[in-house]
C-alpha cells in the first residue's frame, strides 16, 4: 500500500507559500516529521536551522530549491528504497532435490559455498514446470544467518557434541543416510580441502563416479542427465567435457551466487535418525605450530626483511613476538643474514600469505612477483617513492628498527591486556 505516493496539492501549495500561516506545519508534515527549518524563538527572534533546509533528491543528494517549485514534492516514502526487493520463493512439493554440502569455513557460508548454491539453483530451476529444491547439509555449529538469501530451500543442520571436530567417517555415514532418505538428483560439494575430501569419500561410498574440479556446467539435451560439465584434469592442463554425473566437486566461481530471490531455508530433520559409527580415525585436536618451521609457501603471516634492516636481532625478536614466519629479500639472503630457503620472490618462494609485512624492502620486480597473491601488504620503509610502498595496502615511512621496536612493545602490551582479561574472567 505504501508504495503509492499520495499527493495533496493543497498541502503542497501551502508548503510552497512561505507567507501562509500554516506553512511551517505543512513543511514539517510533508518532510516526514523532519525538523522545521524556521521557527520563532522564545524572545520573538526568528531562528533558522540551515541543516533542515532542502530535501533529498532521487539520487541521494540534498537539493535546495530556492524557486520553491519542487520543494513540496519531496516524496514522503523515501524509506521504500531500503526495503528488500528480492522475490520470496517457496517450493512446497519439489520434483527432485539438489543437495549441497557447504564448507562453512569459520562457521559462515564462504564465497565458494555461495557459488555452489548458485549452481544448485541453476540445476533446480531449469524446468519451471517441475521445480527442484536445494537441500543444504550443514555440520556442526555455525554463525550464518543468511541461508535464505543464499538460495537454500531445505536445511539439515546436524549439531551437537557428536558433530564437533574432524569426523570424516561419521559425516560420510550421515550423508549416506541423507542420500537414502532424500535421494537427491545431484550432490554438489566444493572442491576445497574440506569439501573435496568429503565429496570423494561420499563418491566412493555411494559407488558413483564424481566429476572433480568442475568449473562450468551447461544445459545439454544430448547428454543423459540433461547437463554437460567441463572439469579440469591432468593437474590443470586439460579440460574434460562430459555429462554431468551425480556427484560434482566444483571449483570456486563455477556459477553466479543467488542474488534476486529469497528462499525458505526450511529446517528439516532425518526421519530415520542418525547413524552410529565407530570411527577408526581419532581426532586429537589441532597442534600448535612453531611459525618458524612453517614453510614460506603456506605461511599465513610473514615478516620479511630486506636491505633496510640493520638491527637483525631486533628483527628476529619481532618475528618471535608477532608469531610471524620469517622471510627475506634476495639482498638479505645474499649478504648472509638469512638462509636461502627464506628468500621470497621469483628465485625463491612464491608466497600466498594473508598478511605480508615487508621491512626495509624496496620492492624489486622479482620480489613483487613473489608476493602477487598476498592479500594485505604492509611496507615499512624510509623511501616514500619505492615500488613496495606503491604495492602496499599500508605503508609506514620511517626507520625500520624504531617502528619494529614500537610494534613489539604495542603487541606485548596487547598480550598483557589479553592475559589480564583472561585472568579476570
Partner 1 sequence: MPHDVSNKSAKQSTANALNVAVLVSVGQHPLTARARRADQDARAVEMALSLENASVSLLHAGPQDSDHEEAIRGYLGMGINSVGLIEQKPQADVIPALANALRASAPQLVLTGTRAETGEASGVTPYLLAEALGWPIITGLAAVEKVEQGVVTVLQALPRGKRRRLRIRLPALATVDSSAPAARQSAFGPARRGELAHQKAASELDEALSTWQFQPARKRPKRLKIVKSSSARDRFKAAAAKADGGGGQTLNDVTPEQGAEAIFKLLKEEGVLS
* Stretch 249-268 residues interacting with partner 1 (CB under 8 A): 249, 253, 256, 259-260
Nearer to partner 1, 199 or 370 (CB): 199
Grid look-up 533446480 returns 124
- Please report, as residue ranges, which positions from 346 to 365 form the binding site for partner 1 (by CB under 8 A): 354-355, 357
Number of shown-chain residues binding partner 1 (CB under 8 A): 89
Beta-bridge mates of residue 139: 158
CB of 181 to partner 1, least distance (A): 21
- Please report, as residue ranges, which positions from 25 to 44 form the binding site for partner 1 (by CB under 8 A): none
- Please report, as residue ranges, which positions from 82 to 111 form the binding site for partner 1 (by CB under 8 A): 85
- Please report, as residue ranges, which positions from 221 to 250 form the binding site for partner 1 (by CB under 8 A): 231-243, 249
Nearer to partner 1, 260 or 423 (CB): 260
Nearer to partner 1, 47 or 78 (CB): 78
The SS3 assignment for 106 reads: helix
Q: Give the interface segment with partner 1, choosing from 7-15, 26-34, 129-137, 404-412 (CB under 8 A).
A: 404-412
- Measured CA to CA, the distance from residue 339 to residue 257 in angstroms comes to 45
- Measured CA to CA, the distance from residue 241 to residue 422 in angstroms comes to 56
- Measured CA to CA, the distance from residue 93 to residue 210 in angstroms comes to 28
Q: Does 164 interact with partner 1 (rule: CB under 8 A)? A: no
Kindly tell me which residue out of 203, 328, 333, 371 binds partner 1, with binding defined by CB under 8 A.
203
Q: Does 143 interact with partner 1 (rule: CB under 8 A)? A: no
CB of 114 to partner 1, least distance (A): 12
Q: Are strands 211-219 and 227-233 parallel, antiparallel or unpaired?
A: antiparallel
CB of 74 to partner 1, least distance (A): 17
Closest listed residue to residue 12, CA positions, set 63, 76, 90:
76
Q: Give the interface segment with partner 1, choosing from 30-38, 92-100, 149-157, 204-212 (CB under 8 A).
A: 204-212
Kindly tell me which residue out of 131, 184, 210, 370 binds partner 1, with binding defined by CB under 8 A.
210
Q: Is residue 140 left, alpha or beta, with left meaning phi > 0 and alpha meaning psi from -120 to 50?
A: left
Kindly tell me which residue out of 134, 368, 380, 386 binds partner 1, with binding defined by CB under 8 A.
380
Kindly tell me which residue out of 100, 123, 248, 389 binds partner 1, with binding defined by CB under 8 A.
389
Closest listed residue to residue 378, CA positions, set 315, 305, 307, 321:
305
Q: Does 412 interact with partner 1 (rule: CB under 8 A)? A: no
Closest listed residue to residue 16, CA positions, set 25, 27, 6, 7:
27
Nearer to partner 1, 64 or 297 (CB): 297
Q: Are strands 227-233 and 238-243 parallel, antiparallel or unpaired?
A: antiparallel
Q: Which residues contact 55 (CB under 8 A, 6 or more apart)?
A: 31, 62, 63, 65, 70, 71, 74
Kindly tell me which residue out of 89, 94, 225, 301 binds partner 1, with binding defined by CB under 8 A.
301
* Helical spans, DSSP H, in 125-192: 168-182
Kindly tell me which residue out of 320, 322, 366, 387 binds partner 1, with binding defined by CB under 8 A.
322
CB of 125 to partner 1, least distance (A): 18
Nearer to partner 1, 100 or 324 (CB): 324
CB of 293 to partner 1, least distance (A): 9
Closest listed residue to residue 185, CA positions, set 257, 245, 127:
245
CB of 389 to partner 1, least distance (A): 6
- Measured CA to CA, the distance from residue 201 to residue 173 in angstroms comes to 10
- Measured CA to CA, the distance from residue 347 to residue 328 in angstroms comes to 12
Amino acid at each position: 500500500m505504501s508504495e503509492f505516493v499520495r499527493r495533496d496539492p493543497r498541502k503542497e501549495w501551502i508548503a510552497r507559500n512561505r507567507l501562509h500561516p500554516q506553512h511551517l506545519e505543512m513543511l514539517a508534515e510533508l518532510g516526514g516529521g523532519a525538523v522545521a527549518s524556521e521557527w520563532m524563538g522564545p524572545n520573538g527572534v526568528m531562528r533558522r536551522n540551515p541543516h533542515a533546509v532542502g530535501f533529498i533528491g532521487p539520487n541521494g543528494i540534498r537539493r535546495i530549491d530556492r524557486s520553491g517549485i519542487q520543494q513540496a514534492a519531496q516524496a514522503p516514502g523515501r524509506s521504500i528504497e531500503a526495503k528488500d526487493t528480492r522475490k520470496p520463493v517457496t517450493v512446497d512439493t519439489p520434483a527432485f532435490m539438489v543437495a549441497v554440502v557447504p564448507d562453512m569455513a569459520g562457521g559462515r557460508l564462504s564465497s565458494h559455498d555461495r557459488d555452489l548454491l548458485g549452481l544448485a539453483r541453476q540445476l533446480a530451476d531449469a524446468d519451471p514446470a517441475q521445480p527442484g529444491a536445494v537441500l543444504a547439509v550443514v555440520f556442526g555449529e555455525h554463525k550464518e544467518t543468511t541461508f535464505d538469501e543464499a538460495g537454500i530451500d531445505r536445511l539439515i543442520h546436524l549439531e551437537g557434541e557428536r558433530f564437533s571436530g574432524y569426523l570424516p567417517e561419521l559425516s560420510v555415514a550421515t550423508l549416506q543416510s541423507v542420500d537414502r532418505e532424500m535421494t537427491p538428483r545431484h550432490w554438489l560439494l566444493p572442491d576445497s580441502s574440506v569439501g573435496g575430501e568429503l565429496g570423494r569419500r561420499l563418491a566412493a561410498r555411494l559407488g558413483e563416479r564424481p566429476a572433480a574440479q568442475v568449473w562450468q556446467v551447461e544445459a545439454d539435451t544430448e547428454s543423459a542427465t540433461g547437463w554437460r560439465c567441463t572439469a579440469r584434469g591432468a593437474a590443470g592442463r586439460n579440460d574434460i567435457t562430459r555429462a554431468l554425473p551425480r556427484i560434482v566437486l566444483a571449483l570456486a566461481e563455477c556459477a553466479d551466487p543467488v542474488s534476486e530471490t529469497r528462499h525458505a531455508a526450511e529446517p528439516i530433520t532425518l526421519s530415520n535418525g542418525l547413524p552410529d559409527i565407530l570411527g577408526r580415525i581419532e581426532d586429537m585436536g589441532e597442534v600448535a605450530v612453531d611459525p618458524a618451521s612453517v614453510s614460506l609457501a603456506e605461511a599465513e603471516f610473514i615478516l620479511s626483511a630486506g636491505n633496510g634492516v640493520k638491527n637483525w636481532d631486533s628483527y628476529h625478536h619481532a618475528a618471535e613476538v608477532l608469531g610471524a614466519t620469517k622471510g627475506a629479500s634476495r639482498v638479505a639472503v645474499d649478504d648472509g643474514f638469512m638462509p636461502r630457503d627464506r628468500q621470497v620472490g621469483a628465485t625463491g618462494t612464491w608466497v600466498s600469505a594473508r598478511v605480508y609485512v615487508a621491512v626495509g624492502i624496496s620492492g624489486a620486480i622479482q620480489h613483487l612477483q613473489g608476493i602477487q597473491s598476498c592479500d594485505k601488504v604492509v611496507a615499512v620503509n624510509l623511501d616514500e617513492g619505492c615500488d613496495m610502498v606503491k604495492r602496499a595496502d599500508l605503508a609506514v615511512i620511517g626507520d625500520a628498527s624504531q617502528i619494529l621496536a614500537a610494534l613489539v612493545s604495542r603487541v606485548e602490551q596487547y598480550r598483557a591486556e589479553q592475559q589480564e582479561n583472561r585472568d579476570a574472567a
